[in-house]
Amino acid sequence: MTLRPICEPVELPIGASVIAEHVSVAAAAPQFEPFRHFHDVAELVLFRRVRGEFIAGGRRHPLADGAVAFAPSMHHHDYALARGAMEWVLVQIDPYVVEALAARLDLARLARPFCAVPDERARERIDLLADWLIEAARDPRDPALERIVELLLLSAAGAPEVRPGAEDERTADFERLLPALERLRSAPEAPIALRGAASMCGLSPAYFSRRFKQALGMNFTDYARVYRLHLAARRLATTGAPVSEIGYRLGFSSPSHFSARFRDRFGMTPREYRNSARSRAVAENKGRVNEPA
């Protein structure tokens, strides 16, 4: 069995609020195997050709050409895609942009994962916006960037939602664990012990541990640490907060403890990670400046 990280890190360049890319899958490509995971960014996938399912909220949502799938930051989701030629646009967005938009426009749907299928006219508009976004995202300073993202999110949130299909086979296990997961999501700065997490879910520590590992692929303590480390990575890459402050605010007992755990996960210290992100951002900006007109 191939092990994959339960949180797949997505690092937005310094100063960028969104990345967008066009993805094409050849007919001979192997079938996508589902694996429940989360990202530290919000994710919007605009499918042009697809067959499969979007797995979120404990349910399987059927995907068809023109469907859109949305997962907020740090919400578990996955895709079970059939073998064959497929095409989509992947948009990954700074969660603060999404949260601000949802609050300003009272878009409650953006607080949870969903799948929708726009009508033909809306689909044409979404395809055009997606192409514009890919072009605009080459320059994170483009003033049109967030407006295009806003229009895309409004179009996706306004489309008729897909009726969910069958429950995911791990739904029952996953739902029993939700109190502990939601507690971690809402207060990552206050680590919770195994016994407390089990109590929130109405389970004994031993039974909670067994079910947690079966449902999510790692034990609760490791999961909580990985979750907080990926939050830290996002803050290092996207804010100027002091490294020690980021560590303390995410519940690490000391700067040395934070640095050691971060190195174990990412292969570099928090400061090296931040410097690397900034160096890449500078290189990308120089590349844009030097591009021929």
Give pLDDT, residue 288: 47
- For the record, the structure tokens of 191 come out as 């680590």
171-277 CATH, one of 3.40.640.10, 3.40.109.10, 1.10.10.60, 3.40.50.2000 = 1.10.10.60
Q: Are 31 and 81 in contact (CB under 8 A)?
A: yes
Distance CA 227, CA 180 (A): 13
Q: How many other CB atoms are there within 10 angstroms of residue 166's CB atom?
A: 10
Q: Specify the DSSP class assigned to residue 33.
A: P
Domain ranges of the chain: 18-158, 171-277
Q: For 14, how many CA atoms within 13 A lie in the half-sphere containing its CB?
A: 17
Each of the 293 residues of the chain gets a pLDDT tens digit; together they read: 233 344 555 656 656 789 898 988 888 777 766 666 777 789 999 999 999 999 887 788 999 999 999 999 878 788 888 888 999 999 999 887 898 888 888 888 999 999 999 999 999 999 999 999 999 988 877 888 889 999 999 999 999 999 887 676 665 666 788 899 888 878 888 889 999 999 999 999 999 999 888 777 778 998 888 888 878 887 887 788 999 999 999 999 999 999 999 998 888 899 998 887 777 656 555 554 455 44
Residues of 127-163 as b/e, b for ≥16 C-beta within 10 angstroms? eebbebbbebbebbeeeebbebbbbbbebbbebeebe
Give pLDDT, residue 134: 92
One fold for 18-158 and 171-277 = no
Give pLDDT, residue 157: 93
Query: What is the pTM for the complete model shown?
Result: 0.67
Classify the C-alpha dihedral 99-11-4-6 as positive or negative. negative
Distance CA 185, CA 95 (A): 13
Specify the CATH architecture of the domain 18-158: Sandwich (2.60)
Distance CA 206, CA 180 (A): 15
Distance CA 183, CA 228 (A): 12
